[in-house]
Amino acid sequence: LVSGNALLSGSSKTVDMTGEQVFTVAPTTNKLLGNLNAKRPVTIQAFVSKEVPRDYAPVKTLLLGLLSQYEQASHGNITVRVAVVDPASPQAEEAKKFGIEGRKVQSERAGRTQVDEVYLGAVINSGANEVVIPFFDVGLPLEYELTRTVNTVAAEKRRKVGILETDAKLTGGFDMQSFRSSPEWRIVTELKKQYEVEAVSPAGPIDETKYDVVVAVLPSSLGQIEMQNFVDYVKKGKAVLIFDDPLPATNPQLSPSQPKPRAGGGNPMMQMGQPPEQKADGGKATSLVNALGIQWNYDQVVFDYTAMQVHPEYSELLRPEIVAITPKSGLAKAFNPDSEVTSGLQEMFLFFSGTIKPREGSKLEFTPLLRTGVHSGLLEWKDLVKNSFMGIQIDDDPLRIEDEFAHVIAAQIESPKNATGDRINVIYVADADIISDWFFFVRERKQFHLNLDNVTFVLNAVDSLADDKAYIALRKRRPKHRTLARVEEQTARFIEHATKERQKAAEEAKTALEDAKKQFAEKVEKIKNDPALDDSTRTQMLLIAQAETTRKLEVAEAAINQKKEQSIEKGKIESDRNVRAVERGYYAAALLFPPIPAIVLGLLVWVLRLKDEYKDIAPSRRAPLAK
């Protein structure tokens, strides 16, 4: 091995041994770089630290390697400059002028925690066009980011994305309800790297010639006139990406079933004489879903146990309303493999999402994109959420009953090619948290060891609708996440056991309540029909009977819940024990099996050498071989 490494170390050729070929520049990249306009040369200035923490060393190596390959593949249309940056150096001052600053990164070296100031950014420009990537984090897809940015600055004109103004306030700005400025969502910042982005007011008719695609988040929050203008635009066949949500985790007060926030926020002086604005169709977005030919219940939330199955390490933190979309859910087509938007995606998280399905008799083409697993169901708003003076309170453990459906979370809705009259070209997603800033944070830093495709899905949907599809395949390139199937199977069995125990306890509690009501009714009837009792005594005995029944019911419910928790805990302990046994088996195999080929090879070499040596010995001096 040492000799082989020494011989090959001088070779400039590399071999990509990964199954997905993630370290090989994609054909898409080579094609896009080769087609750059010689009249619009591109300059890439990278600002990198001389020394970086261990976690960022692969990022720096890959970045420098890609820049070298890009310069070669562009046939002279790309010029690369790499500036090595030390804190407080002239290069650091230069980087700061572009908006690239050192990031404080904590790492551990020689048993000590150390904080380093790391520079890993780039500025790409062509003529007056300029895009700055402030920092290449560990989870950022480098090849996609560089390729997209190079082609964006080299293009003479960008496509335009419109952001519909709703209560979600994606573009940020001054909030008249809270009298505070809010930043734009990260999805808007991300779209600006590729598109011209502009806010779209639904207060008047929307210009149908201006936008390549319109993104609408929480259109259920629109007023009646605004909704009508938006629906009119949708019916013209213009590309629209819609996100609506029965319970936005980022701000539950924006739920469709809740009233619109008043201007002035909680200041009563600012609300005097101002009646609250009403949502169109009471928040049900009836006119919109009718135009799309779908059924969307604004007060139903999906639950699914898949997330706890594929991430048992977080089972105590997750809840079934955090839905994981993945083929490991038991549904092979959780991501539609035939759609360019979803093919190749591996896992997404959704928070308190809704569901949609085609309306009976609709002539529109309904293509599911995202679907839950087989262990899922629906919760009514009233069973999950309670309104109190403290605001919206979410029940930690509502009664969940699985159904036999794989619920559709997102779908592409289109008019048939030969359709006349109104035309539809929409991707509808029944979840708004899918594009929240949290998913960008997880994507960039691979927090919690999660590698989620939320951002990829949203950007793919925008590109597909805008007919700007060059980056879709490139964006989806990443190593396939592989896990221990036997561990997931064991976790799935425990989740199924816990679910059955909860449902059994709920049924027992319901039966106990019905029995208690029946016994109480019999007692009441007996007391009422007793002629020996006066009114005062009868009233007192009724109160005593009610108190006894309530106390018995509370004791019965406590016993049922205790039995349920004991059964669940027993199942969890057994599941954990089995999981640990499986993991120990793999650990032992990982320790024992790798040396075996080397040992066998060593024995074979030893036997061959011994045989050769035996041949060279004179026959008179040979010792007899053992028989």
- The stretch 342-347 carries a mean pLDDT of 92
Taking the CA atoms of 608, 610, 613 and 614 in sequence, report the sign of the dihedral they define. Answer: negative
pLDDT in tens, 248-276: 998 998 999 998 876 555 555 544 555 66
C-alpha span between 463 and 370 (Å, rounded):
17
pTM, rounded to two decimals: 0.76
C-alpha span between 212 and 462 (Å, rounded):
9
pLDDT value of residue 260: 85
C-alpha span between 530 and 106 (Å, rounded):
80
pLDDT for 483 beyond 60: no
> How does residue 192 score in pLDDT terms, banded at 50, 70 and 90?
very high
Contact 59, 138 (CB under 8 A): yes
Contact 92, 102 (CB under 8 A): yes
Contact 216, 241 (CB under 8 A): yes
3.40.30.10, 3.90.78.10, 3.40.50.11540, 1.10.10.60: which CATH number matches 23-151?
3.40.30.10
C-alpha span between 350 and 326 (Å, rounded):
11
- Three-state SS at 411: strand
* Beta-carbon contacts of residue 336 (< 8 Å; ≥ 6 apart): 342, 343, 367, 368, 369, 370
pLDDT in tens, 579-624: 677 667 777 877 888 888 888 888 888 888 877 777 766 666 666 6
Closest CA to 311 of 328, 296, 334: 328
pLDDT for 35 beyond 60: yes
pLDDT in tens, 155-183: 888 999 999 999 999 998 766 555 677 88
* Per-range mean pLDDT, top range of 16-20, 305-309, 386-390, 429-433: 429-433
pLDDT in tens, 533-568: 787 887 888 888 778 877 777 777 777 777 767 766
Q: Which residue has the tokens 């970045």?
A: 63
